């Protein structure tokens, strides 16, 4: 089923606008009318927005309520031209960012650090996203251990389920990532397995709250004890769960402690651009005390351009994003976040129940807002193939094969979505039963991963996709 273009050539799914709108491979000689441009952009946006409005897309769009988004866009517009680093010219930036950090720290029980050591004081910075927050923590642990313990070949221990942003940061900053498998069928990392890998080069360990594949919270209490015992850092990746687990906990769900209440936690990443419902392009990295944050700052006094300093890996950042993030937190308030979590959990509980009701499907661990599931009897990717025809978009997982669905606010705005999910899933399972033994469409790539040769092929393929995307 390939869409045909007028010229009979199959349409490239990455380039649906080719031939439909003008392609610019050079700056146009004469500027275009702004009305024209707006019309074209609005058309693309409206078409692309139809997908998440169905509520059938896992994760990806976290709030996207039209009124909230319009409000954030308005706040953005006042500072879209401002560089956050220009604190002197725009003191509003210092206000927005310090308050974003403080509000996030408060939500994650930052005050609890004083019970352990009154001289500790949670602090942090605003970054461009979860990957940068994580990269900053990796750099901090590397530089702190080098300065204080003379560690020159740093290692960080992470569960296999932790986000690849850690692997990426390790690759960028020259830190070896030691990967620990997760236990079966619990799918959480074992604290003993983490401890067994600690050596004099270990600068920190990592746990997720919750992890991206299954939304599960690692045994953080135990990992905290391991970190304390060995005097090393402990980063909790709350990029995904940081802005929703505190509210789910307040709703009365049983959530183990995941934040600064744990005495061994030295840093937490939490994404404002996910369940903080802010615009894309912001996250917060928090540290137990300012000593850690010092290792994040970059200063270079000897430049002809002036004395240079920057707090994160980014240089210029848009002040609009900081204004909008601040506005998101302040406009929703604790009651707004709590209401959002309640609506999300209502749908998530329905989805979980629908999966659990089907013989042959296994929910992974004890999830909350993100439900991962697999099957031993069926090819889970057959179910994905079928659900695609009904407009559902899951995230495909591998090692082992599984699917996940992450509930965000768009799902809560579609009436009876849970019932529709239940009905479609039952049909998807019948489809998978009828097709046992035939290869599923959505699994083509996954067969290759994990094989040494296969990995090289997949790497080449993925790089090829980027090259193609950047080609005109």
Examine residue 371 and tell whether it contacts ligand PLP (CB under 6 A). Answer: no
> Among residues 210 and 428, whose Cβ is nearest to ligand PLP?
210
**Cα separation of 364 and 378, whole Å?**
15
| Binding segment toward ligand PLP, per CB under 6 A, in 45-53, 186-194, 207-215, 227-235 | 207-215
Query: Exposure string (b/e) for 213-232, b if CB count within 10 Å is 16 or more?
Result: bbbbbbbbbbbbbbbbebeb
| Binding segment toward ligand PLP, per CB under 6 A, in 24-32, 140-148, 232-240, 442-450 | 232-240
Total number of residues shown for the chain:
472
Examine residue 239 and tell whether it contacts ligand PLP (CB under 6 A). Answer: yes
Q: How far is the CB of 130 from ligand PLP (least distance, A)?
A: 2
**CA torsion angle 326 329 332 337 (round to 10):** 160
Q: In what order do the strands lie in the sheet with 402-406?
A: 361-363, 370-375, 402-406, 395-397
Q: How far is the CB of 437 from ligand PLP (least distance, A)?
A: 35
Query: Binder to ligand PLP among 55, 124, 129, 264 (CB under 6 A)?
Result: 129
| Binding segment toward ligand PLP, per CB under 6 A, in 66-74, 138-146, 205-213, 317-325 | 205-213
Q: Which string of x and - marks every residue 208-227 that binds ligand PLP (by CB under 6 A)?
A: x--xx---------------
Query: Binder to ligand PLP among 259, 271, 379, 420 (CB under 6 A)?
Result: 271
* Number of alpha carbons in the 13 Å side-chain half-sphere of residue 111: 3
Q: How far is the CB of 271 from ligand PLP (least distance, A)?
A: 5
> Among residues 317 and 382, whose Cβ is nearest to ligand PLP?
317
Query: With CB under 6 A, what is the number of residues at the site for ligand PLP?
Result: 13
**Cα separation of 76 and 63, whole Å?**
16
CB-based closest residue to ligand PLP? 130
Q: In what order do the strands lie in the sheet with 233-238?
A: 123-127, 283-287, 267-270, 233-238, 202-208, 155-159, 176-180
Greatest Cα-to-Cα distance within the chain, rounded to the nearest angstrom? 72
Examine residue 237 and tell whether it contacts ligand PLP (CB under 6 A). Answer: yes
> Among residues 62 and 386, whose Cβ is nearest to ligand PLP?
62
Q: Is 119 exposed, middle or buried (0-12, 13-18, 19+ CB in 10 A)?
A: exposed
| Binding segment toward ligand PLP, per CB under 6 A, in 66-74, 204-212, 259-267, 423-431 | 204-212
Q: How far is the CB of 127 from ligand PLP (least distance, A)?
A: 9
> Among residues 262 and 425, whose Cβ is nearest to ligand PLP?
262
Q: Helix, strand or coil for residue 339?
A: helix
> Which residue matches tokens 């003379």?
150
| Binding segment toward ligand PLP, per CB under 6 A, in 129-137, 223-231, 294-302, 380-388 | 129-137
Segment 154 to 173, residues that bind ligand PLP, using CB under 6 A = 163, 165
Examine residue 131 and tell whether it contacts ligand PLP (CB under 6 A). Answer: yes
Instruction: Judge contact between 159 and 193, C-beta under 8 A.
Output: no
Query: Binder to ligand PLP among 189, 203, 240, 332 (CB under 6 A)?
Result: 240
Residues at the contact surface with ligand PLP, assessed by CB under 6 A: 129-131, 163, 165, 208, 211-212, 237, 239-240, 271, 283
């Amino acid at each position: 089923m390939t869409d045909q273009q007028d010229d009979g050539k199959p349409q490239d799914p990455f380039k649906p606008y080719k031939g439909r709108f003008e392609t610019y491979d050079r700056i146009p000689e004469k500027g275009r009318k702004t009305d024209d441009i707006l019309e074209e952009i609005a058309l693309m946006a409206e078409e692309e927005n139809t997908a998440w409005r169905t509520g059938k897309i896992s994760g990806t769009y976290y709030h996207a309520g039209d009124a909230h988004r319009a409000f954030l866009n308005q706040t953005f517009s006042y500072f879209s031209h401002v560089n956050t680093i220009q604190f002197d010219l725009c003191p509003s930036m210092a206000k927005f960012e310090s308050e974003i950090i403080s509000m996030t720290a408060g939500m994650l029980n930052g005050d609890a650090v004083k019970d352990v050591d009154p001289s500790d004081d949670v602090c942090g910075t605003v970054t461009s996203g979860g990957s940068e927050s994580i990269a900053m923590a990796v750099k901090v642990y590397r530089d702190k251990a080098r300065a204080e313990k003379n560690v020159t070949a740093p290692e960080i221990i992470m569960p296999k389920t932790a986000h690849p942003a850690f692997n990426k940061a390790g690759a960028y900053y020259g830190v070896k990532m030691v990967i620990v498998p997760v236990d079966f069928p619990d799918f959480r990392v074992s604290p003993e397995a983490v401890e067994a890998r600690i050596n004099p080069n270990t600068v920190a360990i990592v746990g997720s709250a919750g992890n991206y594949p299954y939304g599960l919270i690692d045994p953080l209490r135990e990992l905290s004890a391991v970190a304390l015992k060995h005097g090393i850092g402990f980063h909790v990746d709350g990029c995904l769960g940081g802005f929703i687990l505190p509210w789910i906990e307040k709703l009365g769900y049983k959530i183990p402690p995941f934040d600064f209440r744990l005495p061994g936690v030295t840093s937490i990443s939490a994404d404002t651009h996910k369940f903080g419902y802010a615009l894309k392009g912001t996250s917060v990295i928090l540290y137990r005390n300012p000593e850690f944050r010092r290792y994040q700052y970059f200063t270079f006094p000897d430049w002809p351009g002036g004395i240079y300093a920057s707090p994160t890996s980014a240089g210029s950042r848009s002040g609009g994003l900081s204004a909008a993030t601040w506005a998101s937190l302040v406009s929703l308030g604790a009651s707004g976040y709590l209401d959002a979590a309640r609506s999300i959990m209502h749908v998530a509980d329905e989805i979980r129940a629908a999966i659990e009701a089907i013989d042959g499907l296994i929910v992974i661990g004890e999830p909350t807002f993100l439900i991962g599931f697999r099957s031993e009897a069926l090819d889970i990717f057959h179910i994905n193939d079928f659900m695609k025809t009904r407009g559902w978009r899951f995230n495909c997982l591998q090692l082992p094969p599984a699917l996940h669905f992450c509930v965000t606010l768009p799902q809560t705005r579609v009436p009876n979505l849970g019932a529709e999910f239940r009905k479609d899933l039952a049909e998807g399972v019948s489809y998978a039963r009828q097709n046992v033994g035939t290869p599923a469409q959505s699994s083509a790539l996954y067969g290759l991963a994990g094989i040494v040769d296969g990995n090289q092929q997949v790497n080449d393929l993925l790089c090829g996709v980027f090259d193609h995307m950047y080609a005109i």
